[in-house]
């Protein structure tokens, strides 16, 4: 999958979630915003209520999407024979899409009315979604191979280029510019403070200022605009790699802790979901079949 197609892939999934949410909210706003005691008299009550045609359908489809998303991704990780159907990162992205789209539909299935044991499943689902977003952020901070295997520290360091040799071979820089470019791509040590979020935010703005300073110095020394763009791109790549090296151990530890938090909520959600479906069938609630 080319970068352009991958962007379309991500964009299409995000668009589906957004449009589905807008469609459901727009069409059911008058019902969902009505007080609970007045909904029975709403003209669309039989349509939007949890056991109604729309409400029940949203619950069924949302549940199926979650189950497909969860067990499909687990199967792709466990069975290597499925590798021919796409890289693990694409399956992860599809897993995230289904496990966001499904809860959105289940949210409207509940008609924003929570209670009993099912409320535990619902809030577990919300925690699973939120922790999934956090997990995705942590996941992409750890450099990986095309197949999704996490790279070791030595493998990441081997990806670094010798900027000194590249600059000497490709660009005619004066000594001040040469030293400034080399200094801009050094390890910062800012992730030793323990405040990861603050360090990441601060480092982001520091990096932008640093690259801007280098570009300004290069322009002042008469370096060609095209060379400035190429050097700035090289600096950004090197800074990004250095940041990942400095954060690697932190992110690896966070990813292990994340698994411990994410899995129990997912299990609770699935168990109560199965119980809810079983009770619904036992009481004779049916949809279109």
Beta bridge partners of residue 150, listed in sequence order: 144
CA distance 240 to 211: 12
Is the pLDDT at 212 greater than 60? The verdict is: yes
pLDDT at 203: 75
**What confidence tier does 156 reach under pLDDT thresholds 50, 70, 90?**
low
Q: Which two tokens stand for residue 128?
A: 């699973």
Predicted confidence (pLDDT) per residue in 75-100, tens digit = 887 877 777 787 877 888 898 899 88
Is the pLDDT at 167 greater than 80? The verdict is: no
**What confidence tier does 204 reach under pLDDT thresholds 50, 70, 90?**
confident
**What confidence tier does 282 reach under pLDDT thresholds 50, 70, 90?**
confident
Please give the C-alpha separations between residue 24 and each of 97, 103, 109, 123, in angstroms, as whole numbers: 17, 13, 10, 20
Please give the C-alpha separations between residue 67 and each of 63, 91, 223, in angstroms, as whole numbers: 6, 14, 57
CA distance 88 to 150: 12
pTM higher than 0.95, yes or no? no
Domain ranges of the chain: 3-152+253-282, 160-247
Beta bridge partners of residue 144, listed in sequence order: 150
Q: For 275-280, which contacts have Cβ atoms below 8 Å and span 24 or more sequence positions?
A: 275/117, 276/117, 276/118, 276/121, 277/63
Tell the residue number behind the tokens 């069975």, with chain if given. Answer: 79
Please give the C-alpha separations between residue 241 and each of 35, 57, 84, 90, 248, in angstroms, as whole numbers: 54, 47, 30, 23, 10
Sign of torsion over alpha carbons 228, 229, 235, 236: positive
């Amino acid at each position: 999958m080319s970068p352009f197609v991958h962007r379309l892939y991500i964009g299409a999934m995000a668009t589906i979630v957004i449009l589905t949410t807008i469609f459901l909210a727009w069409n059911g706003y008058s019902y969902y915003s009505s007080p609970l005691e007045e909904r029975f008299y709403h003209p669309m009550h039989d349509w939007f209520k949890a056991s109604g045609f729309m409400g029940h359908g949203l619950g069924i489809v949302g549940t199926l999407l979650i189950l497909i998303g969860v067990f499909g991704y687990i199967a792709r990780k466990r069975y290597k024979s499925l590798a021919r159907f796409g890289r693990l990162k694409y399956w992860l992205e599809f897993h995230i899409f289904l496990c966001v789209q499904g809860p959105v539909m289940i949210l409207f299935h509940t008609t924003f009315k929570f209670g009993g044991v099912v409320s535990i499943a619902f809030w577990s689902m919300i925690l699973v979604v939120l922790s999934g977003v956090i997990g995705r952020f942590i996941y992409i901070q750890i450099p990986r191979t095309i197949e999704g295997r996490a790279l070791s520290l030595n493998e990441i360091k081997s990806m670094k280029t010798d900027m000194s040799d590249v600059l000497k071979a490709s660009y005619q820089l004066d000594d001040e510019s040469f030293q400034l470019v080399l200094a801009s791509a050094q390890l910062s040590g800012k992730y030793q403070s323990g405040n990861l979020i603050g360090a990441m935010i601060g480092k982001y703005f520091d990096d932008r200022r640093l690259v801007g300073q280098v570009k300004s110095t290069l322009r002042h020394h008469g370096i060609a605009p095209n060379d400035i763009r190429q050097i700035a791109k090289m600096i950004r790549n090197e800074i990004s790699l250095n940041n990942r090296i400095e954060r690697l151990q932190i992110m690896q530890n966070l990813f292990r802790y994340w698994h411990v938090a994410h899995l129990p909520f997912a299990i609770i959600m699935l168990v109560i979901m199965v119980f809810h479906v079983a009770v619904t069938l036992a009481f004779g609630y049916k949809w279109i079949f």
